[in-house]
Amino acid sequence: MTLTGDRRVSLLMTALWAVAPGSIVLSMVYSEALFCALAIWALIALVEQRWLTAAGLTILAGTVRSSAMALIAAVTVAALLALIRAARARPHTAAWWRPVAALLLAPLGLLGYWGYVAWAVHRPGGWFLLERRVHNGFDWGHGILLALKGTIIEGRTAFVALTLLVIAAAVMLAACSLTERMPVYLHVFTLVIVLTALATGPYYLGSKPRFLLPAMLLGLPLARLLAPARTWALVPLVALLAAASTWFSLYLMSVGWAP
């Protein structure tokens, strides 16, 4: 409710996120569940201007996943906007030292994580080296375009087509989320998550629904659209989506398409 301003919309957005494609990994030993918990509370702390709490949660998130880059970007934008307002108002020191502290502290978890990996592999850019070894560097969506071309021209298998449909839905929801009236740093967080999820490759196409899970606010436009509906209609709809999401994930795993 802190982020949306409407209890019903918030509940619907949470329900839609819980049944999103790839959400089955929340019941597995993956880092998404912990990272998403830290990310959402960090964003709530930012909205409430609890700067040190947001910075602390971002530090913790940085030790979990490199997706913390999105949180760091959000904290940076929020802190800079707060400092601009403070410069105009010329308030007491207490009004701006917390945003400065959050700006400086937020990247420490991710930098520490990268530093530990560099130390462990005895290479300055150890984390980036490991990412390249598993073919998970940035290709700016080239792998997705190749998969789309193969699906259209060569008629590739159904699981590739289904994954591409999920990616297309995420792109459309990302575009729709830009129309939502919420702080700009929340938009920054969502867009960075989507960009980093879709611009990595060329492999791990089947993992992209999982990579998109931290972009929880993608469900906000759909939640607002469904909010006026009756509860008796929403409950079966969410149940149907849960069944479809579970089938999608199990189907992908059954054909060797790792989540």
pLDDT tens, residue by residue, 116-126: 888 887 777 76
Neighbours of 229 (CB within 10 A): 12
Domain ranges of the chain: 7-254
Residue 28, φ and ψ in degrees, nearest 5: -115, 175
* pLDDT at 258 (0 to 100): 65
Alpha helix positions (H), the chain: 7-18, 32-47, 51-62, 68-89, 97-105, 108-121, 126-133, 142-154, 158-177, 184-198, 208-211, 220-226, 231-254
The closest of 192, 169, 237 to 39, measured between CA atoms, is 192
> Residue 162: CB partners within 8 Å, gap ≥ 6?
248, 251, 252
Terminal alpha carbon distance of the chain: 30
Planar angle of CA 199, 200, 204, nearest 5 degrees: 130
Instruction: Tell me if the pTM is above 0.75.
Output: yes
Contact 189, 217 (CB under 8 A): yes
Task: Name the token pair of 182.
Answer: 């919420």
- Half-sphere exposure in the Cβ direction for 9 (13 Å, CA): 17
Q: How far, CA to CA in Å, does 166 sit from each of 7, 135, 222, 245?
A: 27, 22, 15, 11
* pLDDT at 189 (0 to 100): 96
pLDDT block averages, 10 residues each, the chain of length 259: 76 91 86 92 92 96 92 95 81 75 94 86 72 62 62 65 84 90 92 87 75 91 89 91 90 73
Percent of the chain with pLDDT over 70: 81
Question: Residue type for 148, please?
Answer: L
* pLDDT at 122 (0 to 100): 77
